[in-house]
Amino acid sequence: MKKLAAIAFLLTAMGCFILSCQSSEDIEFKRHYAGGMLLYQTHCQNCHGKNGEGLSALIPPLTDTNYISKNRHKLACFVQNGANGIINVSGKFYEGSMPPSGLSPIEIAKVLTYVGNSFGNKTGLINLNQVQKDLKECK
């Protein structure tokens, strides 16, 4: 019994040590990513799909890493204000409208961190400051 308690203590101590070695940006990224996954499932997945695959010719996929990275600073505007018109994703044209999400700026940062690091994308952390800056540039 003492041996089991000692092993449990050792594993807990190792876990605490590993967590303490993470930078504050790593911790913020993980919080944004996890929260963004839940927001995506609630607000985005119905249209864009569980795996970001979109819906046929109606709703664009979120799997085009070039589109996501090239338009990184426009994405907050799309999420907050919705989007209308024709867009070209991976050489395929999509025409339609996306309604405004109703998400707060911090929620937008979280969902964009999730989308930006899922489905083959690797954009890193998108934090609140970046979203607020991008929202000021919306046209």
- The pLDDT, as a whole number, for residue 6 is 63
Asked whether the predicted pLDDT for residue 21 surpasses 90, the reply is no
Distance in angstroms (rounded) separating the CA atoms of residues 87 and 91: 9
Q: What is the CATH number of the domain that holds 60?
A: 1.10.760.10
Q: Does residue 11 form part of some domain? A: no
Q: Does residue 29 form part of some domain? A: yes
| Closest to 58 in 3D by CA, of 50, 66, 49, 67 | 49
| Tally of structural domains, the chain | 1
- The pLDDT, as a whole number, for residue 80 is 97
Is 48:111 a contact under the CB 8 Å cutoff?
Answer: no
Question: Which range of residues forms the domain containing residue 44?
Answer: 23-136
Q: What is the pLDDT of residues 50-109, one digit of tens each?
A: 999 998 888 999 999 999 999 999 999 999 999 998 999 989 999 888 999 999 999 999
Mean pLDDT lowest among 12-21, 42-51, 130-139: 12-21
Asked whether the predicted pLDDT for residue 11 surpasses 80, the reply is no
| Closest to 131 in 3D by CA, of 109, 107, 100, 103 | 109
